[in-house]
């Protein structure tokens, strides 16, 4: 007989994490593994699905089940992962190439242009509820068809990330509706089912997984997966979902008006909307809970820029960190905190890897504008944090246009450890941010989904009653509003006025 513990594992861009939870939300064990993302060519981003996605699921599962707990204690499993990704499998279920990652991989730009010209931008938008961008899986499948025809011919099934792990656990080819929403133009956002009108151009439905809800059971752990992971044969496994949907659930985003703001390697916004309102500037998707729709957005770089800044520009701070243990990030925050709002006339465009929403411009580039000899490293770092804040404001203004202003915003991710960054974002946007007592991440939301799917948790209400507690709220300081309003206007104008020249720099 299965146990009552819930196993949730999330595979991220640079690390993976797993938790074992009781049905009332208590974490009894956790484990984390780090990995690298491959950038084999400019505009490309890839993962080895076997080594990273499946390999780290196995490693984490083994770690969690090798001590006090065993597979017999686990009553349900759910997995989430980065996405949307594109992974072709052969007839035996083996990956045919490294997985092509989500919007940070922009290799299919020509395919996006071709599809829009031949299918019609409006028709594609009406079908999928969003414009074709580097986030879409359909153009990446077409890229495979055009550039690696031998691989495409051998492709029997196309998976994303979490659903590939579900396949390795259960042998079932399924995908949750939140992930499937990104397969446009192959998915009908109104019916939440595959649409075959472009099968001859891209790929037919026989090569796509069966669509399910994320809180449904996809299958059970089979013998080979049991041997690899330590889970018992027959343990129920959910359909899986993308990390952002699981992370939003993990902090209580369950009702229309709830929004998650995720401070991660990339900044991500997920807003549950009262009314389905597709807009070309944002993404539209199903959610990890049924009968809910999400308006989402994702900036290409946020935490990735702060990491770049630390690695490339902060040798002295890293030396102090090595010698004293004081974090280089903490030192940078101290320097930035001593700088006035607006960074003394310095504005950063945070488009260091192009930009996803709302620009949909893979050729956008980063910029520091207004540099003078008086500016210091602290000014530069504060302007990075402010630039990301301006990007969040841009998204919220679009949501306001669409009558989709969130009632409450819950902040999550590693960046929430940076109090200065969070305060800057609230000051720039003029909105409050709730901070949960524990921001454990998507793996925690996975564990909750496993409980819902298996019946070990009987209601979504349990999430608010026992799993999620708000620790504090970041309130905006309006004394800097005028300064930030001016800087934000400059931020918006900079991109509009320099876009063409920055595109030229990409093609010298």
- pLDDT (tens, 9 = 90+) of the chain, 508 residues, equals 469 999 999 999 889 999 999 999 999 999 999 999 999 998 899 999 999 999 999 999 999 999 899 999 999 999 999 999 999 999 999 999 999 999 889 899 999 999 999 999 999 999 999 999 989 999 999 999 999 999 999 999 999 999 999 999 999 999 999 999 999 999 999 999 999 999 999 999 999 999 999 999 999 999 999 999 999 999 999 999 999 999 999 999 999 999 999 998 889 999 999 888 899 999 999 999 999 999 999 998 888 899 999 999 999 999 999 999 999 999 999 999 999 999 999 999 999 988 989 999 988 999 999 999 999 999 999 999 999 999 999 999 999 999 999 999 999 988 999 999 999 999 999 999 999 988 788 999 999 999 999 999 999 999 998 999 999 999 999 999 999 999 999 999 999 999 999 999 877 6
Same-domain status, 101 and 231:
yes
Q: Which domain holds residue 489?
A: 303-396+479-506
Say whether both 101 and 213 belong to one domain: yes
Q: What is the DSSP string of 473-494?
A: EEPP-GGGHHHHHHHHHHHHHH
Q: Which of 4, 29, 23, 3 is nearest to 440 (CA)?
A: 29
Q: What are phi and psi of 345, to 5 degrees?
A: 80, 20
Query: 345 and 489, same structural domain?
Result: yes
Q: Which residues are 237's β-sheet partners? A: 77, 219
Which candidate, 69, 67, 91, 79, places its Cα nearest to that of 17?
79
pLDDT given for residue 362 in this prediction? 84
Tell me whether residue 413 is in a domain. Answer: no
Task: Please tell me the predicted confidence (pLDDT) of residue 508.
Answer: 60
The CATH code of the domain that includes 498 is: 3.30.420.40
pLDDT of residue 1: 43
Q: Are residues 219 and 337 in the same domain?
A: no
Intra-chain end-to-end CA distance of the chain, in Å = 65
3-state SS string for 452-478: HHHCCCCCCHHHHHHHCCEEEEECCCH
Q: What is the DSSP string of 422-445?
A: HHHHHHHH---EEEES----HHHH
Rounded to whole angstroms, the Cα distance separating 385 from 426 reads 12
Strands (E), 266-401: 267-272, 283-286, 293-298, 347-349, 367-369
State which of 208, 225, 245 marks the end of a domain: 245
- The verdict on residue 285 lying in a domain is no
Q: Where are the beta strands (DSSP E) in 12-153?
A: 15-21, 27-34, 46-47, 74-81, 87-89, 99-100
- Give the Cβ contact number of residue 151 at 10 Å: 14
Please name the residue that has the structure tokens 């044969």.
233
Nearest 5°: phi and psi at 106? -110, 25
Question: Of 196, 230, 245, which closes a domain?
Answer: 245
Instruction: Please tell me the distance from the alpha carbon of residue 494 to that of residue 133, in angstroms, as a whole number.
Output: 22
Asked if residue 467 is part of any domain, the answer here is: no
Answer positive or negative: Cα dihedral of 160, 265, 437, 22. positive
Q: Is residue 261 part of a domain?
A: no
14 with 85, same domain: the answer is: yes
pLDDT of residue 439: 79
Which domain-ending residue is among 205, 230, 245? 245
d(CA 79, CA 61): 11
Cα within 13 Å of Cα(135), Cβ side:
31
| Rg value, the chain, Cα | 22
Is the Cβ–Cβ distance between 53 and 104 less than 8 Å? no
Q: Which pLDDT score, from 0 to 100, does residue 474 have?
A: 97
* Sign of the C-alpha dihedral computed for residues 296, 300, 304 and 305 taken in this order: negative
> Is residue 126 in a domain?
yes
As given in the structure block, the two tokens for residue 294 are 């999400």
How many structural domains compose the chain? 2
The torsion region of residue 235 among left (phi > 0), alpha (psi -120 to 50) and beta comes to beta
Question: In this predicted structure, what is the pLDDT of residue 460?
Answer: 94
Please tell me the predicted confidence (pLDDT) of residue 476.
97
Q: How far is residue 483 from each of residues 164, 202, 341, 396, 494, measured CA to CA in Å? A: 48, 49, 7, 19, 17
- Whether 261 and 411 have beta carbons less than 8 Å apart is answered as yes
Q: Is residue 271 part of a domain?
A: no
308 shares its domain with 237 = no
């Amino acid at each position: 007989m299965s146990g009552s513990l819930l196993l949730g594992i999330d595979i991220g861009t640079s690390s993976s994490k797993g938790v074992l939870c009781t049905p009332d939300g208590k974490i009894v064990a956790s484990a984390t593994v780090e990995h690298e993302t491959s950038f084999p060519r400019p505009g490309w981003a890839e993962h080895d699905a076997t080594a990273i996605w499946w390999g780290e699921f196995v490693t984490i599962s083994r770690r969690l089940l090798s001590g006090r707990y065993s597979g017999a204690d686990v009553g349900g499993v759910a997995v989430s992962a980065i996405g949307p990704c594109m992974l072709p499998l052969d007839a035996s279920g083996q990956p045919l190439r490294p997985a092509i990652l989500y919007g940070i991989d922009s290799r299919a730009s020509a395919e996006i242009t071709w599809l829009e010209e031949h299918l019609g931008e409006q028709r594609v938008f009406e079908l999928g509820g969003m414009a074709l961008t580097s986030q879409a899986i359909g153009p990446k499948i077409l890229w495979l068809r055009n550039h690696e025809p031998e691989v495409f011919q051998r492709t029997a099934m196309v998976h994303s990330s979490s659903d590939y792990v579900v396949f390795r656990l259960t042998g079932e080819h399924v995908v949750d509706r939140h992930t499937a929403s990104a397969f446009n133009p192959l998915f009908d956002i109104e019916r939440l089912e595959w649409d075959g009108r472009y099968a001859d151009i891209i790929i037919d439905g026989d090569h796509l997984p069966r669509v399910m809800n994320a809180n449904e059971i996809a299958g059970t752990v089979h013998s080979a997966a049991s041997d690899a992971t330590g889970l018992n044969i027959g343990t129920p496994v959910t359909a899986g979902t993308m990390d952002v949907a699981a992370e939003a659930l993990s902090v209580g985003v369950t009702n229309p008006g709830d929004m998650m703001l995720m401070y991660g390697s990339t900044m991500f916004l997920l807003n549950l909307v009262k009314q389905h309102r597709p807009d070309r500037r944002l993404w539209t998707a199903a959610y990890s809970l049924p009968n809910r729709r999400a308006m989402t957005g994702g900036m290409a770089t946020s935490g990735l820029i702060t990491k770049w800044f630390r690695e490339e520009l902060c040798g002295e701070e890293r030396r102090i960190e090595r010698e004293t243990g004081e974090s280089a990030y903490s030192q940078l925050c101290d320097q930035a905190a001593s700088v006035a709002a607006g960074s003394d006339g310095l504005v950063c465009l945070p488009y260091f890897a192009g930009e996803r929403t709302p620009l949909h411009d893979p050729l956008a580039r980063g910029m520091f504008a207004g540099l003078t000899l008086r500016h210091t490293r602290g000014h530069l770092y504060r302007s990075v944090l402010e630039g990301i804040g301006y990007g969040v404001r841009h998204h919220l203004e679009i949501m306001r246009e669409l009558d989709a202003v969130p009632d409450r915003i819950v902040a999550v991710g590693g960046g929430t450890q940076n109090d200065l960054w969070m305060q800057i974002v609230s000051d720039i946007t003029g909105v409050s941010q709730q901070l949960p007592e524990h921001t454990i991440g998507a793996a925690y939301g996975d564990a909750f989904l496993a409980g819902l799917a298996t019946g070990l948790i009987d209601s979504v209400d349990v999430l608010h009653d026992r799993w999620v507690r708000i620790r504090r709220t970041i309130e905006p300081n309006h004394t800097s509003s005028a300064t930030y309003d001016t800087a934000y206007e400059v931020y918006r104008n900079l991109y509009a006025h320099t876009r063409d020249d920055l595109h030229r720099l990409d093609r010298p």
